[in-house]
Structure 1
Amino acid sequence: MFKPIREYIRKVSTPKDADILVEYDKYFTEKELEKLNIPYIQRIENNIERDVFKETTEFLKSSEQVLIIYGESGVGKTRLTIEISKRIKGSDIFARVFRFKRRCLFVNLRRYQSPKDVEEKLNAKLLEKTVLILDDYQYNMEVFSEVRNNAFKRNSKLIITTRPIFAKALNDRLELASVRELHLGRMDIKGILPENVDGSLKYAIEKISEGNPAITLLAIDYINKHSTTNDSVPKSSDKCKIQNH
């Protein structure tokens, strides 16, 4: 009597032309890229400037295999991984010093549910040392284990972003791998806002954004577009404290 029910169960299938490892602009959807297409901002946490990209390069220099970047939603974890990808791809320093040959790829676990689907593709893609990024990772342990094992065989490194609630469990599941953790806190919005933002407007943006840099920049652009006076806020791309390396 249960046979007809099985026919209605949707089977997960993986397109034959789908890649397990892709560039960041192929990993995110167009809508996601629109939201993520904001300047990379120098972080200010607790009134202290923090160069998290420098902290990431220290990991790349080390013998450690995994970097877990964790923090609450919207603090800039994904934006940081995109910046890492861009810089590795565009820098001769990484090719010479870190020997990643400008290879930084996102692991596309959205399409894959079985480790059998990824083994052959990983063997074809991971021919040299590579930085692999798993963004907003939760759990698909079978496929993750296949990716991890293939990466470590070729001295590649994993960068994983996740929420604090998953960080410890993820660390435990990495078993004998050498792991470094990087915690991203909320940013001080006063480090992002231009100096001439008045008190009431500044308070409103701080309250709405709750330390989320993307929301802060969107708020500034919104104010600029809808301002009816000459006292508009300087554009985020011009006046905000931005790090462009």
Structure 2
Amino acid sequence: MIPRLAAVLAALLLSGCAAFFTPPQTAALLAQPPADLPLSAERDEVPFFAQTRDHCGPAALATVLADTGLPADPDRLADAVFLPSRAGSLQLEMLGGARRQGAVATRLPPDLQALLREVAAGHAVIVLQNLGLDFAPRWHYAVVVGYDLTQRQLLLRSGTTRRQALPLRTFEYTWARAGRWAIAVLPPERLPATASEAQALDAAVGFERVAPPARAAQAYRTLLARWPGNA
């Protein structure tokens, strides 16, 4: 029984980290980096709020809100987005928490290159990772603040680590296991660099539900400046 158990555990570890394989988006990005994308970028000025307990969601949200100059108190945000019954924060709470603080929270394309382009455009990005396995998940929110294609690294504000340098392929595995979920949190005067028209419109509609009318109108004006034909 012991050899059989060891074999099962070994198989699980290999399937979890896929140590000898590079996932598809990382492989494509490294094989042919886009000519219009800088090889590296880092926003060292992005604030850092160390996570306490299971409060990676409030810490990540405080990080991006502070980066845009909006109120950012992790303890107060925890009251709004942390669910004790789940020992964490759901994506809907993260979106709603950002909007209630005056920011437009926009879903981004599920593409690694989109994360890099947002950083290059000067935007920090919240991502959801699964640091466990598919059948035993360990959910975690972090903030992408930089990357280096020559070093094959992504740079994160994560947990209690101000500057976590994570191999791109490791990040992609953990991100893919969480559904490649990512959001940009910006004031209504700015749009993410990579969001589609549909994603930007969905974000503006969500913002309108909680924002003062003048700020909601600003979000729509910003959207129409990029897509003037939107009905």
After TM superposition, the score normalised by the length of structure 2 is: 0.26
Q: RCO greater where, 1 or 2, for CA within 8 Å and sep 6 or more?
A: 1
Q: Counting strand residues as a fraction of each chain, which structure ranks higher? A: 2
Q: Pick the structure with greater CA Rg.
A: 1
